[in-house]
Amino acid sequence: MRRRQSVNREFQEQVASKGDNSFASCFHCLSCGAGCPAVELMDWRPNQVIRMIQRGMKKEVLESRTIWICIGCFNCLDQCPNRVDIPSLMDTLRHMAIEEGVRVPEPGILAFHKEFLRQVSNRGRVFEVGLMMRYKLATRSFSQDMGTGVRMMLKGRFQLTPSRVENPREFKEKLGGSS
The whole domain housing 69 covers: 10-99
Domain boundary among 99, 127, 155: 99
Residue 94 lies in a domain: yes
What's residue 179's pLDDT?
Answer: 43
Contacts of 63 (CB under 8 A, 6+ apart): 97, 102, 103, 105
Read off the pLDDT of residues 71-121 as tens digits, 9 standing for 90 and up. 889 999 999 999 999 999 999 999 999 999 999 887 788 888 888 888 888
Read off the pLDDT of residues 150-164 as tens digits, 9 standing for 90 and up. 888 888 887 777 777
Say if residue 18 is in the same domain as residue 71: yes
Say if residue 75 is in the same domain as residue 156: no
Q: Residue 21 sits in a domain of what CATH number?
A: 1.10.1060.10
Say if residue 86 is in the same domain as residue 33: yes
Say if residue 90 is in the same domain as residue 35: yes
What's residue 178's pLDDT?
Answer: 47
Say if residue 95 is in the same domain as residue 115: no
Rounded to a whole number of angstroms, the distance between the first and last alpha carbons of the chain is 50
Domain boundary among 81, 99, 117: 99
Please, what sign has the CA dihedral across residues 47, 48, 52, 55? positive
**3-state helix/strand/coil string of 27-61:** CCCCHHHHCCCCHHHCCCCHHHHHHHHHCCCHHHH
Domain boundary among 51, 70, 99: 99
DSSP line for 134-174: HHHHHHT--STTHHHHHHHHHTT-S-SS----S-HHHHHHH
Say if residue 95 is in the same domain as residue 146: no
Say if residue 94 is in the same domain as residue 30: yes
Please state the domain count of the chain. Answer: 2
Q: Determine contact, residues 97/112, Cβ cutoff 8 Å.
A: no
Residue 174 lies in a domain: yes
Residue 172 lies in a domain: yes
Read off the pLDDT of residues 28-74 as tens digits, 9 standing for 90 and up. 999 999 989 999 999 999 999 999 999 999 999 999 999 999 988 99
